Amino acid sequence: MSDVIDRFIRYVQIDTQSDPQSKNCPSSEKQLVLAKFLLEELQSMGLAYVELDENGYIMATLPSNIDHQIPTIGWIAHMDTSPDMNGAKVNPQFVENYDGADIILNASENIVLSPRDFPDLLKYQGQTLITTDGTSLLGADDKAGVSAIMSAVKHLTDHPEIPHGTIRIGFTPDEEIGRGADLFNVEKFNADFAYTVDGGELGELEYENFNAAVARITIKGRGVHPGSAKNKMINAINIAIELADLLPVQMRPEHTENYEGFFHLTRFDGTIELAVLVYIIREHDHEKFKWQKNYIEKSVDLINLKYGSGTGVLEMKDQYYNMKEKILPVMHLIDTAKAAIEQLNIEPKIVPIRGGTDGSRLSYMGLPCPNLFTGGHNFHGRYEFIPVNSLEKSTQVILKIIDLYSGHRHA
């Protein structure tokens, strides 16, 4: 078993689910179990300035071994896994020489990973896949990224003859609940730029992501006995449904792809007297993003005009922005990564992220930070899988990018 695969199997068996209900950082103490494990491994490799801070962030440095100045590159991944699916007792399964047929994940519960549902499986016929046992997520998001970075660093420490500049390592908590960059100290990290290793399919390279906002709409009703409700009752549930119907059906996530934005209803709670809707708003284009937020505002205004001022109360805030604006001035990051991918005979897939990434927020905090593939598929659920070859290639791309920067000077 290769070093990166061995690490991946060990790391995914440590439960690190983040907790959106917690106000602490890290949001779950169990993330620190993996953090302390990684800390010891980094120290044993002989890295400098290895540190785990009180909030669960790890930073470490592999000093330069060359005599001329080149950029300091950061490599970042997150340790937590999604709260959307059980992350405990992960039992990874190897499917060798995959033949394109259904994969029985769990016979007793009839859980099947099928190319009929997930046609991307067919790209990996003849390869070895790592899957779940059907009772948990796998955790490739983002323990695959952690594994790839750790394996690349181990390779460099085992081969000090390989030239490289200063390399900074950062592992973060709570990315899955949108807080991964909250307490990341960019100044202390002290890198010229970085890459998050938190992407999907083999060859993916991403420097565009959604602009994002969240909108919470509270609808206030009036409860009256239904037998005497005429002209008196105001049913908050019905008004909430009416509000939801004001938003374009074609802009729901299940009807969008590529650069298309959406309104996504993530929560709907209601009684006659009080109903709550929570939407996440996503769009790559900044002007369209502003239009979406204005559309929500006007929809609530319409409800208030129809049912009385204060019936609908909107709370809306921006979450993160498209990193493209911050990457365009330093496109050598993308050009170098693309060249590295191509030199390893992989087809680059430069695609927009239909989601967010720590790299987006970090880019706006002064650390340009595009995203590289790990090879994983179907994140956050029991059907998650990762091809062994893809994860191994992720490590190789990291090493090739380091090699290219070591051989070329960049302003």
Closest by Cα among 211, 175, 169, 174 to 194: 169
Active site residues: 80, 175
What's at 150, amino acid-wise? M
Task: Return the SS3 of 213.
Answer: strand
Phi first, then psi: give them for residue 245, nearest 5 degrees.
Answer: -70, -15
Question: Kind of pairing, strands 193-197 and 371-372?
Answer: parallel
What is the Rg, in whole angstroms, of the alpha carbon atoms belonging to the chain? 23
Q: How far is it, in rounded angstroms, from Cα 289 to Cα 75?
A: 30
Q: Judging by beta carbons within 10 Å of its beta carbon (0-12, 13-18, 19+), is residue 338 exposed, middle or buried?
A: middle
HEC profile of 283-306 = ECCHHHHHHHHHHHHHHHHHHHHH
- Residues in contact with 294: Cβ distance below 8 Å, sequence separation at least 6, in sequence order: none
In 10 A of CB 157, how many CB atoms?
A: 15
Write out the H or E segment, with its range, that includes residue 337. helix 332-343
What angle separates helix 31-44 from helix 140-158, to the nearest 10 degrees? Answer: 10
Chain centroid to CA 208: 13
Task: Return the SS3 of 192.
Answer: coil
**DSSP letter for each residue of 130-149:** EE--SSS---HHHHHHHHHH
Residue 136 C-beta-side C-alpha neighbours within 13 Å? 22
